[in-house]
Amino acid sequence: MFDGEVPNGGVFTNISAFSVVGNCKLCGGIKLLQLPACPIQVLNEWKRPFNHRVIVLIVTLTIVVLSLCILAFIYRNKRSRQQIKLALPLQNQYLQISFGELFQATNGFSPSNLISEGRYGSVYKGILNSDEQIVVLKVLKLHECGANKCFVTECEALKNIRHRNLVKIITTWSSIDFKGNDFKALVFEFMENGSLENWLHPSLLEQHEPKNLNFVQRLNIAIDVACALDYLHHHCEMAFIHCDLKPSNILLDRDLCAHVSDFGLAKIFLATKGISIHQQSSSIGIRGTIGYVAPEYGMGVEVSMQGDMYSYGVLLLEMFTGKRPTNNMFTGNVNHHSYVQMCLPEQVMQIVDPQIIWEMEEEPSRSMQSSTTNISKLEACLVPVFQIGVSCSAKMPNERMSVKDVLKELHKIRNVFIGVRGQRH
């Protein structure tokens, strides 16, 4: 089944030295073979360059297509592995610890070390044996839809922010545990006085240890939280929308200085262009906690600074009324906002947290002014505080106060109150 042209030289000149019988596709050769003539040489010369050009073209196109595929694969792989790349800057910059150390620090993640538990993570208290440092460990519940995204978002937020009123990150951990399961955790500085939630609404176990925040302490916490929001909204290279501001995410240090925590639901924007870096995930749904989440989020409106201000307004009202936004008394058309608004300004002392008044009455007087005068001045300062809370928690986003105006007004209120009483707490 040979085909093609039989040579005319060498051994092929001697017909007794070879045989081509049965190869009907051959051509040319010496005349004695009586084979048909081969196609015209000009045709062959035309075909060769054509075939060569086709081959070159195919090879070139193949290389280009493969190159594009490789680049697309690298780009997609880079995005899919973003969580590792986000965690590394924190790990390289901060403390390096092993899973074994985390396990030992929390007594094997013992229930006795459990501080709190949320949808996406469990929070443990631990002691690192390396330097006996007390830490808080947030372990992600990776089986929960959205937990992995929260870890990535929180890592990206924490590596870009530094402020005295934001929780301090010690390190992150992203690998596997002793059983080979995925394990992700964030390690934070321990806050001696726990969360604002525990101070405003102590559990039954905590009620035997009475603790209370007086008016100025609550005012200071409100200012601290507003300072944190002002930094996140206006003084970062990338603007941050917290999206989940509530008492349990406000931690208090030894001096009762407030630190905003939990950036798992945060939305990050390019501050100069207002472009969202991460699109909202449908797996998370409405960003925030019932009672604190801005009403427009429920209608699919994109998260915004005004949304954070709504949560701040609700937080402020809760701090000074002592009532949660989900209190049973808030039903139908009555909510935290309308409840306080109806009582302003004449009935402000009827809605204030009684603990604030009791604390003032029990506190020994350091001035010549009577307790009655101090209560009267307290009432005068409570009115603008509640007005700020009502303004920030307005239903329409464009009616809410900006964080800069809130800070300005709260500082005025504190200065007036401290000046009247002649002391600072």
DSSP code for 137: E
For the four alpha carbons of 402, 405, 409 and 410, in that order, the dihedral sign comes to: positive
Query: Cα–Cα distance between 425 and 415 in angstroms, integer?
Result: 12
Active site residue 244: yes
Among 224, 199, 211, 214, which residue's Cα sits nearest to residue 312?
224
Query: Cα–Cα distance between 248 and 267 in angstroms, integer?
Result: 19
Q: Which two tokens stand for residue 335?
A: 């909510």
* CA–CA–CA angle 26, 32, 35 (5° rounding): 25
Among 407, 416, 411, which residue's Cα sits nearest to residue 376?
416
Q: Is residue 336 a contact partner of residue 315, using CB atoms and an 8 Å limit? A: no
Query: Cα–Cα distance between 141 and 151 in angstroms, integer?
Result: 10
DSSP code for 55: H
Long-range CB contacts for residues 119-127, cutoff 8 Å, separation at least 24: 119/144, 120/144, 120/146, 120/147, 120/150, 120/264, 121/147, 121/150, 121/264, 125/190, 126/102
Catalytic residue, chosen from 244, 262, 308, 353, is 244
Catalytic positions, please? 244
